[in-house]
Structure 1
Amino acid sequence: MDNFMTHIVSITILLFLLITFLQSGIDKLVDWKGNLDWLKGHFAETFMGKMVPFLLATILIVEMITAICCITGIYHLFVDDNTYFGVLAMFLACLTLLMLLFGQRVAKDYQGALTITCYFIVAIFGLYVITA
């Protein structure tokens, strides 16, 4: 229980990121065609338009790896006070969100970019907390 209290902020942020990326990854797996169709339209007028299937698969893989690292990070914070996977999860979350932000900016979806920024603030704060 001491490890839980020591890392309560990091664990809570890892849970937030786990929910965010696991749900997003599952949604992409369950509704691949719907996501692909929507994103093709979203990026149709950009240089990324023809790369959408590859980019969607890349984001899916990174989101699922991030979710797995979140689970592993929470486990290791509880069990052995080890922050390695927690740091890795939060760093991957930041990278994933930066990739998504780049896409939204390219597509000139500034409202979508703003939403991603809110998630990024949580992830970067978590990275700060777990490494401080």
Structure 2
Amino acid sequence: MDNFMTHIVSITILLFLLITFLQSGIDKLVDWKGNLSWLKEHFAATFMGKMVPLLLLVVLVIEVVTAVCSIIGIYHLIMDGNTYFGTLAMFLGCITLLLLLFGQRVAKDYQGALTITCYFIVAIFGLYVITP
């Protein structure tokens, strides 16, 4: 119980990242065609228009890896106080959000970029909190 209380902020942020990226990854898997169709239209007028399927796959993989690292990170924080996987999850979350932010800015979707910024603030704060 000591480890839980010591790392409660990091655990809570990891739960936030877990929910965010696991749901997003599941949505991409369940509705691949719908996501792909929407994104192709969203990026049609950009240099990324023809790369959408590959980019969607890259984001999906990083999201799933981030979610798995979040689960492992929560476990290790509670069981032995080890921060390695928690730190990795938060860093991957930041990288994923930066990739998404880049895409939204390229597509000139500034409202979407603003939304991602809110998530990024939580992730970067988590990285700050968990880093010794």
TM range (shorter): over 0.9
Q: Aligned-residue CA RMSD in angstroms?
A: 0.4
Question: Per-residue deviation at 1:118?
Answer: 0.1
Q: What does residue 8 of structure 1 align with? A: 8
Deviation at 1:74, TM superposition (A): 0.1
Partner residue in 1 for 2:125: 125
Alignment of 1:1-132 (within 5 A): 1-132=1-132
Q: For structure 1, which runs of at least 5 residues remain unmatched after alignment? A: none
Aligned equivalents of 1:131, 1:57: Cα separation in 2: 29
SS in 2 for 1:96: helix
Where 1:34 maps in the other structure, the secondary structure is helix
- 1:88 offset after TM fit, Å? 0.2
Alpha-carbon shift at residue 18 of structure 1 (Å): 0.1
Deviation of residue 106 (structure 1)?
Answer: 0.2
Pairwise CA distance, 1:97: 0.1
Q: Deviation per CA, 1:14-39: give whole Å up to 9, x if none.
A: 00000000000000000000000000
Aligned residue pairs, count: 132
The alpha-carbon deviation at position 65 of structure 1 amounts to 0.2
Shift of residue 49 of structure 1? 0.1
C-alpha separation between the residues in 2 aligned to 1:126 and 1:80? 19
- Indicate the percent of aligned positions where both proteins have the same amino acid: 83
TM-score (structure 2 length as normaliser): 0.99
TM-score (norm 1): 0.99
Gapped regions of structure 2 (runs ≥ 5):
none
